[in-house]
Amino acid sequence: MRHAILLVEDTEDDIVLTRRALKKNNLTNPLVVARDGQEALDLLLGGVAGDPDPDDLPSMILLDLQLPKVDGLEVLRRLRANPRTRLLPIIILTSSKEERDLVQGYSNGANSYIRKPVDFDQFSEAVRQLGLYWLVLNEAPPRVG
Amino acid sequence: MTSGKAESRIDVRAERLEGSARCIAGSLAALGLLVLAGWATDTRTLMSGTPRLTAMNPVTAITFVLAAASLWNSVDRRSSAGAARVGVVCAWAVVVIAAVRLIGYVGPDLGIDRLVFPESLDAEPIPNRMAPNTATAFLLAGIALLGLRSMGSRTLVAAHLAGLAVLGISMFTLCGYAYRASGLTQVGEFIPMAFHTAAGFAALSVGILFARPRVGMVDVLVREETGSRIARKLLPAVIGIAPVLGWLRVYGEHRRMYDSSTGTAIMVASWVGVMGATVWWQARVLNRADVKRTEAEREVEALNSKLRRDAIEIEATNRELEAFSYSVSHDLRAPLRSITGFSQALLEDHAGGLDEQGRDYLDRVVRAGQRMAELIEDIMVLSRISRKDMQREPVDLSVAALDVAHGLSESQPQRNVEVDVEPGLVADGDPKLLRILMENLLANAWKFTALQAHPRIEVGALPSKNGERVFYVQDNGAGFDMEHAGRLFTPFQRLHSEAQFPGNGVGLATVQRVVRRHGGRVWAQGKVSQGATFFFTV
């Protein structure tokens, strides 16, 4: 998963659109998709398989809030509680603009909160800026194992 | 029962007592003058009631007239300063006459009670003087009359106590006459108090007590509480029954109908019977009132619990509404994103496979999706206003209006709109919601003045009426037909075409929600091409 972008998203259409937006903006990092909260946690924190490779972490996570099994805010809480993923850039990418989601997202340690625009051009622009900022401009946190 | 009704009942009772005090004052003055007339014309009946009894001293009669004058104008607190001064002077005169007479009994006698008709006085079987108990009663009454003019409740209590002492002296004397106990009518070997003097003092003391019934000690008679209600019913019984029983006993004994111990026994038994019956009757009345109150309390309790249930229901409804709004904003937008996203993808990636018409159709799909996204957004704004927690505090609408206008002119520097805001428009409401209200009203005015040569917006308030302040935002823009005024505030209703003035029709709906949340009103006046005025209260 090194240098990958982890997309935690259950809507198939949104996955396709995100993939297209990445491609359109020449963001060539591999895209790993987790289709529910549990899958994302398993991927990052290791499931029954035991300790995963400390280096095997994505460069950033695009996290939807409404997810099957474990919801986005809970995923965020557990990732922040684990030293392995405590510093990992996590961007909430959701349709919700509810105040409580914003407050909860930030107070649980999200690095950024993006509301998915309906218009694809705007969405594509958002993905481009996210990639540019978090993968190029921003100095990544050190890896901790 | 509202407290206002209770207040008015207290007023009625108090006014009745004040009226009685005035009647008493009038009667006392008449008594004094009649006695004086009796002395002048040597009419025994006027001087002493019945020929066998002691006559009222003429100075006593004059003092009664003075006391009556003072009592009369102590009732009306609105009386002029001059009349009030007369009242005080009269009361002081009463005090001085009484004091001089009392001093005369222990020290040098100035003969103040021999000033008028001295010959007639000395011709009496016992030289007629103002009796010591009479002088004492006048002294107390004079002090009470002076105290009545005070505003302090302590002084009034003292005045009422002095009045009660006068009542006590007169009761002793009256009982002495009624029961032929001469020891009660006179002090030692001095001349006794005349019968009608005693009656006059009884009346005067009651007048003193009734003159200021809302304060001091007498308020207990006029109040609405249970204790006062019992007092109003029991007091007349207590005052009336005992003297009558006592008099019957003494009368029977004198007529030798029974001996003293039998008389006492009859009196005690009758007293127990009458008072027992009165207490029993009052207890029943009170019990009935109690039952009614308990029922009323139960009713209130039932209403309260219904209110609580309703509140819980409303709470649940609100939560559902919130969940609904959440899913609107979240779930409806997701498919919309797919529709517009993939249509755009088709347009971009497969434009070659579509002819002109196909591309036009897809364009329309994209635009419709975007429009729907905007509508959902607007619904969310409206619903957020309805759900938002409210705090009330003074909000300066003038500052908000100027700030909003500044923002508008910055975002559209090509427009040159004259904005006139009356300073110091302070409303009591939620600062965030009122800000939203001003934003929408000003944006509305800003938008509809776009075609004016000299666009002008005025923000102000009407002169307040009944404590309600009506604010307004006025423009000289496109205006509207008053016939459609009712639809102005309905969400998504528009009176102008999208091409003429773009918009979604939620601005004024938002204004209305904000106003409604404050329990206020909003309405509009306008004419086509002659501008519009939006009024609101919060």
Tell me the chain B residues in contact with residue A93 when contact means C-beta distances shorter than 8 Å.
none
B386 contacts chain A (CB < 8 A): no
What mean pLDDT do residues A9-23 have? Answer: 90
d(CA A78, CA A39): 13
pLDDT at B28: 94
**Range B45-73 burial, b when 16+ CB lie within 10 A, else e:** ebbbbeeebbbbbbbbbbbbbbbbbbbbb
pLDDT at A50: 56
Tell me the chain B residues in contact with residue A68 when contact means C-beta distances shorter than 8 Å.
none
Would the pLDDT of A88 be above 70?
A: yes
ipTM higher than the 0.85 cut: no
Tell me the chain A residues in contact with residue B363 when contact means C-beta distances shorter than 8 Å.
none
pLDDT at B1: 43
How many Cβ contacts (< 8 angstroms) between chains A and B? 55
Do residues A109 and B330 touch, judged by C-beta distance below 8 A? Answer: no
Would the pLDDT of A105 be above 90?
A: yes
Distances (CA, A) of B96 to B2, B142, B353, B533: 48, 9, 123, 75
Sign, CA torsion B78/B84/B87/B88:
positive
- Whether residue A96 and residue B370 make contact (CB cut-off 8 A), yes or no, is no
Tell me the DSSP string of B439-504: HHHHHHHHHHTTT-SS-EEEEEEPPPBTTB--EEEEE-SS---GGGGGGTTSTT--SS-TTTS---
Residues 6+ apart with CB under 8 A from B489: B508, B509, B511, B512, B522
Q: What pLDDT, in 10s, does the model give residues A18-75? A: 999 999 898 888 999 999 999 999 888 875 555 666 677 899 999 998 888 888 999 9
Q: How far is B369 from chain A (nearest CA, A)?
A: 8
Do residues B491 and B439 touch, judged by C-beta distance below 8 A? Answer: no
d(CA B92, CA B81): 16
Tell me the chain B residues in contact with residue A119 when contact means C-beta distances shorter than 8 Å.
340, 344, 366, 370, 373
d(CA B441, CA B445): 6
Mean pLDDT by 10 residues, chain B (538 residues): 70 90 94 91 81 84 93 77 86 93 86 82 79 92 90 85 93 85 81 89 93 84 85 83 83 84 87 88 88 93 94 87 77 86 88 87 88 83 79 91 91 88 90 91 89 89 82 89 82 74 81 89 88 90
d(CA A66, CA B125): 116
- Whether residue B330 and residue A119 make contact (CB cut-off 8 A), yes or no, is no
Tokens 């001091």, residue located: B216
